[in-house]
Each structure stands twice: as structure tokens, then as C-alpha cells.
């Protein structure tokens, strides 16, 4: 389970705000576009309410994305890469495989072979094994 928290990493006049990711006993940071004045930081914790409100929105978005996948075997760098990628794409290949397996379970062997042939043709056309919607 990954934990996320808004933090500052320096003690300057103006500090960049980071989202700290802790996962499997390792830590990494995602930089944000927010900056907090030193008066908005007390004992290393961000106390500026506007900054914390914006960070809470970002963290909620990240948590929602994390909850849709199984990250238990991922490294913290893989989690970070997943969170910062703008790709919220859904895999067409995975969807098609599930659909074909349901057809096979229902005893519809002939159509499932046609669908798999079509999926493999699409994958060859795009030159990759995972096609997104």
C-alpha cells in the first residue's frame, strides 16, 4: 500500500511542495507546481491552508488511480511513473481478451476464434501487444 503526503524538502524562503510516495519501505517524490513561503511551514509540516487544499485534491486523484490497479509488486519508481503519466487509457486488448474468454466459457468457440484473429491482426497492424481505447 502506497502512502502519499504533501511535504517540503528544503528550509528556504520559498519552498517547492512535493508529494511524497512511500511504498514497500522506499520513498520517492513528485514535484508540484506549488510553492509555499517559509511562514507556511512549521516544524517541517505545511500549514498553509490553500496549499494543503490543493495538495489534497492532487492526492485524492492519485489515490483514486492507485486503487484501480494492483501495485503490491511494483517498486516506488513504477508507482511514481504510473501516477505522473497522463495516460488514463483503458486497454482494448485486455477488454477483448476478457470478452473472448467469456464467449469461450459460453461454448461459442467459432466466434471467439474470429474475434481473437481480429485482435491479433490489430496488434500486428499497430505493432504492439497492448492497444488502448
Burial (CB < 10 A; 0-12, 13-18, 19+), residue 17, is: buried
Start-to-end CA span in the chain (Å): 28
Whether 115 and 123 have beta carbons less than 8 Å apart is answered as no
Task: Look at residue 88 in the predicted model and tell me its pLDDT.
Answer: 60
Residues 6+ apart with CB under 8 A from 73: none
Quick check: pTM over 0.85?
no
Q: What is the pLDDT of residue 89?
A: 65
CA pair distance 102, 4, nearest whole angstrom: 37
Kindly give the confidence (pLDDT) of every residue in the chain, 133 residues in length, as a single tens digit, with 9 standing for 90 and above.
889 999 999 888 999 999 999 999 999 999 998 999 999 999 889 999 999 999 999 999 999 989 888 888 889 999 998 888 865 667 788 888 888 888 888 888 888 889 989 988 988 888 788 887 7
Amino acid at each position: 500500500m502506497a502512502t502519499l503526503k504533501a511535504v517540503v524538502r528544503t528550509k528556504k524562503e520559498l519552498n517547492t511542495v512535493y508529494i511524497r510516495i512511500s511504498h514497500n519501505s522506499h520513498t520517492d517524490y513528485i514535484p508540484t507546481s506549488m510553492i509555499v513561503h517559509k511562514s507556511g511551514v512549521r516544524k517541517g509540516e505545511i500549514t498553509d491552508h490553500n496549499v494543503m487544499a490543493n495538495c489534497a485534491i492532487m492526492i485524492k486523484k492519485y489515490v483514486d488511480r492507485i486503487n484501480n490497479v494492483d501495485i503490491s509488486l511494483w517498486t516506488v519508481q513504477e508507482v511514481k511513473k504510473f501516477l505522473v503519466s497522463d495516460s488514463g487509457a483503458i486497454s482494448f486488448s485486455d477488454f477483448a481478451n476478457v470478452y473472448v474468454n467469456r464467449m469461450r466459457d459460453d461454448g461459442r468457440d467459432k466466434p471467439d476464434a474470429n474475434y481473437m484473429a481480429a485482435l491479433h491482426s490489430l496488434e500486428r497492424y499497430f505493432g504492439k501487444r497492448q492497444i488502448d481505447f
